[in-house]
Amino acid sequence: MSGGGRDPATALQAALVAAVGTVVTTFDAPPVRAALPHAVVEDAVLARWGGAGIDGREGRVRIALHDAGERPVRLRALAAEAEAAVAALSGAIDGGWRVVALRLVRSRIVKSGGVKSGGGDRWTATGEFAVKIYRER
């Protein structure tokens, strides 16, 4: 990798954790224990692209938000806020990488668990984003 700094997947994940973290507590891996609601930014799946003097990556990254309740009303609102925070991410991120494009490809909310102590069901909102990043060599 030329230019030093973080690898592209790690730089992208850190930037997304910071962005979504403005909305809800966010982790870069599933936590052992965490209060609800919270989010997890999964590892990005990236492929190489580029041209003369440009080192680029494009791919997909998923962000999952978790909450509990009889209905996913709060989760819907948090998912919309997280989507807006991700959409606002542009320009420079760590390691000299720059975000070229980041757009929502698909999203869904599903019931993801049984009754939690104190009542309520668990819900998961998942957003999958297409991403393109680059840095100059």
Report pLDDT for 120: 61
Could you give phi then psi for residue 76, rounded to 5 degrees? -60, -45
Which helix (H) or strand (E) segment holds residue 54: the answer is strand 54-69
Q: What is the pLDDT of residue 5?
A: 57
Q: Are 76 and 125 in contact (CB under 8 A)?
A: yes
CB 16 within 8 A of CB 93: no
Could you tell me where the DSSP H helices lie in 35-134?
A: 73-87
| CA proximity to 8, closest of 93, 68, 119, 89 | 93
Q: Going residue by residue through the chain, which has 137 residues, state the pLDDT in tens, using 9 for 90 and above.
A: 344 457 999 999 999 999 999 999 999 999 999 999 999 999 999 999 988 889 999 999 999 999 999 999 999 999 999 999 999 999 999 999 999 999 999 999 999 875 544 446 899 999 999 999 999 88
Q: Which of 74, 81, 79 shows the shortest CA–CA distance to 64? A: 79
> How many whole angstroms separate alpha carbon 56 and alpha carbon 48?
6
Task: Please give the pLDDT value at position 117.
Answer: 44
pLDDT computed for residue 44 by the predictor: 96
CA distances from 87 to 13, 53, 83, 105, 130 (A): 14, 27, 6, 12, 11
